[in-house]
Structure 1
Amino acid sequence: MDYDALKTQSSYCTLVNKSDNSKYVCYSHTKAGTFNIGLTNASEVWSKDFTEETLAEHGKNDALKSAEDYISKIRSTCGNGSASVTVQEDGALLQLGVSPGSVSMTLPRLSDPEGRAELRDLLFRMANSLADADAAGGPSSVSPGKSQFRRNTGFEPRRQQTGPTVVVKKRLPGDSLINPGSRKKKPATGVAFDDND
């Protein structure tokens, strides 16, 4: 495994746990020659470092041979909603996919000062990756007809539409604005009385 090539490669995705709709940021990166997989809900952090040997040992049963395979598996399962988290007393069980072909790993909970330091580092890594992506696009990537402020959805889960779609009827001329089902009343034209009676 080429850790030097992975030094610039970090992966971030949002994971929505279907059991309780809680949100997590799942991330992976290299630090000090180890491959790290982590998970946070912005208040607690669970993280595990893998060396080449421990990553190969863990991947024997899962058919994942390299850090790139793990990054790809994390991105795909977070993207299609098949990743889940079970928080335990001293860690979190990260389940990537549904059987068969699922990968599970237990990530130990980081202590308070270590967890805060990891959250701070994660925040700055994410900000640097966004800045690098913007710099790579440069100012010429913005066309005059489009907004400069593109919404980056790389860190958000894909939202699935739930519930029925409401169709809005077009208001016809003469329909009441206050009571849309009724028509406006026409003004009274008056009554002609004969004085000959």
Structure 2
Amino acid sequence: MSSLHVHCKLQAAGRNYVCYTRQHEQLIWFLVLTDGIDVWRTEVNEEYVERHRGEVHCADISALIQEIRQAIVTCQLVVDRQADRLSLSIGHWPLHFDLFEVSSSERKTELQHFIFWLADLSTDLKARLQVANSKIEELSQKQKMSETAAAAALYEPEAKKRSKQPKLKRQVGTSLINPSSKKKKSAGGVVFD
């Protein structure tokens, strides 16, 4: 299965395009533009890198593809529609690609790659969203429970707080008001007979 990377949607001459790169084989990449109906494509390989080594200043095809992707992501490209091709200028280099319209069968294949890649991406994003939503819900429930426990502890009536404290039995002979002092016997006074 080929590796496909959508980089941007752009407008040129009143038309919308999607620009992406797709790895075809080990060292062969396709640079593709589509308007959803027609597809234009060119091949970028080691031979291309060797021919334009002075212009692109990249050691190998992987570095060149990374530079092309970065230029496309930051929308540093210009599309010029000509009769039989699209001319694509990329980045700050004098780097130009001529993308030619593909045949009907290749168009179907390219659009099929693109549609199934979008479907895979959508499925993956939905799964990641469900996982994220369940984590958010779990954290929200934990936060509500901790807030409820904290609020209950803060605003608990004094009677409940006292009821949780262990009850001390009053020792015989101690004062109710001041438990640390002994209860004094009431004065009997002098008895006169």
Say which structure is richer in strand: 2
Which of residues 12, 16, 35 in structure 2 aligns to 1:23?
16
Could you tell me which residue of structure 2 aligns to residue 35 of structure 1?
A: 29
Residues 100-133 of structure 1 show CA distances to partners (whole Å, capped at 9, x for unaligned) of x242111121122321221122211232244345
1:144 equivalenced with 2:131 (yes/no): no
Could you tell me which residue of structure 1 aligns to residue 172 of structure 2?
A: none
Could you tell me which residue of structure 2 aligns to residue 157 of structure 1?
A: none
1:120 equivalenced with 2:112 (yes/no): yes
Structure 2 counterpart of 1:125, which letter?
W
Name the TM-score, length of structure 1 as normaliser: 0.56
CA distance in structure 2 between the partners assigned to 1:50 and 1:97 by the alignment: 16
Could you tell me which residue of structure 2 aligns to residue 167 of structure 1?
A: none
Shift of 1:38: 0.9
Residues 27-65 of structure 1 show CA distances to partners (whole Å, capped at 9, x for unaligned) of 112124421111111111111223333344344421233
Structure 2 counterpart of 1:114, which letter?
E
Say which structure is richer in helix: 2
CA distance in structure 2 between the partners assigned to 1:124 and 1:114 by the alignment: 15
Percent identity of equivalent pairs: 21
Higher relative contact order (CA 8 A, sep 6+): 1
**Equivalent residues of 2:2, 2:24 under 8 A apart:** no
Residues 144-166 of structure 1 show CA distances to partners (whole Å, capped at 9, x for unaligned) of 39xxxxxxxxxxxxxxxxxxxxx
**Equivalent residues of 1:15, 1:84 under 8 A apart:** no
Q: Following TM superposition, where does structure 1 have runs of at least 4 consecutive aligned residues deviating by more than 6 angstroms?
A: none
Name the TM-score, length of structure 2 as normaliser: 0.57
**Equivalent residues of 1:38, 1:47 under 8 A apart:** yes
Could you tell me which residue of structure 2 aligns to residue 57 of structure 1?
A: 51
* Equivalent pairs, count: 136
In the alignment, structure 2 segments of 5+ residues that lack a partner are: 139-193
Could you tell me which residue of structure 1 aligns to residue 63 of structure 2?
A: 69
In the alignment, structure 1 segments of 5+ residues that lack a partner are: 1-6, 146-197
